[in-house]
Structures are given as C-alpha cells and as structure tokens.
Amino acid sequence: MRAGVIGTGHVGLVTCASLAAMGHEVTGFDVDHDKISLLREGLTPFYEPGLDELLGEATRSGRLDFSTRIEDAVEKADVVFICVGTPARANGEANLVAVEDAAREVVRKARPGLVIVEKSTVPAGTARRLKQVLERERPDIADRLHVVSNPEFLREGQGVDDAMRPDRILVGAESPYAFAVVRDLYGPLIKRGSELIETDIPTAELSKHACNAFLALKISYANALAQICELAGADVVCVTKVMGSDPRIGAHFLQA
C-alpha cells in the first residue's frame, strides 16, 4: 500500500518509519528543506531510541522517501496521514490552522478514494471541520474522499516500540471502505496481536483526550497523596507501591 505522511515531527517520523517497516511504500512531506535533506540521508533531527535504525533501514530499502513537494506524498497514495502540530493558543484551545492547511493542500492533489487520516492530537469535531474543507476545495470528489481519526498513543522515548507493538489501534471512520483500508494498512500489527478498535469518528477523537486526562489525573492524585503522606508521617513510595499492586489501579503514573 502507498502512504503519504504530512509533517515530519516526532509523530510524523515515527509514523513514516513504522509504516515502511510494515512493508508499505511511504513518502514523508515537510516544507523544511534542510530537514528533508537530513532525512534522505537516513538521519533524524532529534533523538528517539530505535528511530535512527528503523529510518535508515527503511530509506535504504527504498520503501521510504521524503520530499518538499506535497504532490509526491499525495498523488499516488492510498492513504495520507496528517501529522502536523496543534499547539495551544493563549486561551488554551488547540490551534488547528496547520491541520486545516494540510488538509487543504492534500485535497488539492487528491484522487477519488483517498483516505485522509488525522493523526495529530485534535479536539472532537475536527474531522467534521476537515470534511468542510474538502467540500469547499474539491466539491467534485468530496463525496469520494474518506476522513479517518486514528489517534497516536506514542510516548517520547518509547515511540518506536509503541508504533511497532501497540496495545491498541483506534480507528474512527464513517465508511466500510475507510475501515477496510486502515485495517489492511495495520494488518501486520493486528496479526501480531495488537487490538483493533473500530468506532465512529467523534468517539475516536474524544478517546485520545480521555486517556490523556486520566493519566494527568493519576499524576495529580499522586502529588496530592505525597502531601498527605508528609503530613501523616507516612512513606509515599510504599503507599503508591501498595496501590499500584492492585490490578484495578496499576502502578503506572503513580509516582509523585
């Protein structure tokens, strides 16, 4: 399968390298010429354990290339991932300008049947906005384009392992065709035991934030617990160890 990836930050590069490692033909796009030159040499602009090796192997095999021309990543692709940044505005809202701009550029080069995947962390309702972009830019084929939500669950420092051995793959879509394309794309991971969860788009979008919020809640709880332990003269390390040994709670993210 042919895949395009828009954006070569942490999520974009891990997506590029992991898809190529699964056997797909991948083209990563970025407007930064210096970064693209570096990536074509098999070098990464940041450190992520295992990424240099995965990227180097993929580029040497010919399954992965990079370009500053968006048409190279879109025109022959079956699926295109949008992996651009969504920094917070001053009021805390996600800035979706880059996501919408990417969708606009992608659809201008798209052919009917293209599956467009929002991989960036976006608010619920973003896919609906992207579909409006598609309808404005390409009313001739908008009804034959497919928007999918496939949130990333990558941890910095463990991104390669999370991408190649995910515990779950979350896919939100509206058409059997879109589900089938993404299912085929992730086929190698599903065969190795990764759980595929298929749902509607708003549920997929919101699930990402639900996970992030709960993890933040556990950290905040651990910090509050540390203060209580200090007042009571209790050992917070032992308390959290006891809590973490309960399978209903788990030990992850309980460190104060």
Q: Quote the pLDDT of residue 1.
A: 96
Q: What domain count does the chain have? A: 2
Q: What is the DSSP string of 93-127?
A: -B--HHHHHHHHHHHHH--TT-EEEE-S---TTHH
Q: Among the three residues 172, 199, 226, which one is the final residue of a domain in this structure?
A: 199
Task: Let me know whether 139 and 32 are in one domain.
Answer: yes
The per-residue b/e assignment along 175-202, b for 16 or more CB within 10 angstroms, e otherwise, is: eeebbebbeebbebbeeeeeebeebebe
Q: Exposed, middle or buried: residue 227 (CB in 10 Å: 0-12, 13-18, 19+)?
A: exposed
Residues 224 and 173 in one domain: no
Q: What is the pLDDT of residue 89?
A: 86
Residue with tokens 């990227």: 55
The predicted structure's pLDDT at residue 256: 59
Same domain for 51 and 164?
Answer: yes
Q: Angle at CA 210, nearest 5°, toward 205 and 211?
A: 105
**Together in a domain, 100 and 159:** yes
- Identify the pLDDT of residue 251: 83
Q: Are residues 128 and 232 in the same domain?
A: no
Query: Are 228 and 133 part of one and the same domain?
Result: no
Cβ 19 vs Cβ 5: under 8 Å: yes
The domain in which residue 41 lies consists of 2-199
User: CB–CB of 90/127 below 8 Å?
Assistant: no
52 with 166, same domain: the answer is: yes
Q: Which helix (H) or strand (E) holds 15?
A: helix 10-21
Phi, psi (degrees; rounded to nearest 5) at 19: -65, -40
- Using CA atoms, how far residue 46 sits from 18, 148, 187, 200, in Å, is 16, 28, 29, 34
**Tokens representing 8?**
């070569």
Contact (CB, 8 A) for 226 and 236: yes
pLDDT at 202: 96
pLDDT of residue 253: 77
- From first to last of the 256 residues of the chain, give the pLDDT tens digit: 999 999 999 999 999 999 999 999 999 999 999 999 999 988 888 999 999 999 999 999 999 999 999 999 999 999 999 999 988 888 878 889 999 999 999 999 999 999 999 999 999 999 999 999 999 999 999 999 999 999 999 988 999 999 999 999 999 999 999 999 999 999 999 999 999 999 999 999 999 999 999 999 998 999 999 999 999 999 999 999 999 899 998 888 777 5
Q: What is the pTM of this model?
A: 0.91
CA distance 192 to 250: 25
Domain termination residue (choose one: 180, 199, 218): 199
**Are both 81 and 172 inside the same structural domain?**
yes
Same domain? For 150 and 239 the reply is no
pLDDT at residue 235 in the model: 96
Same domain, 43 and 170: yes
Same domain, 207 and 118: no
Domain with residue 181: its CATH number is 3.40.50.720
Last residue of some domain: 184, 199, 214? Answer: 199
The crossing angle, in degrees rounded to 10, of helices 97-109 and 126-137 is: 40
Mark whether 96 and 223 lie in a shared domain: no
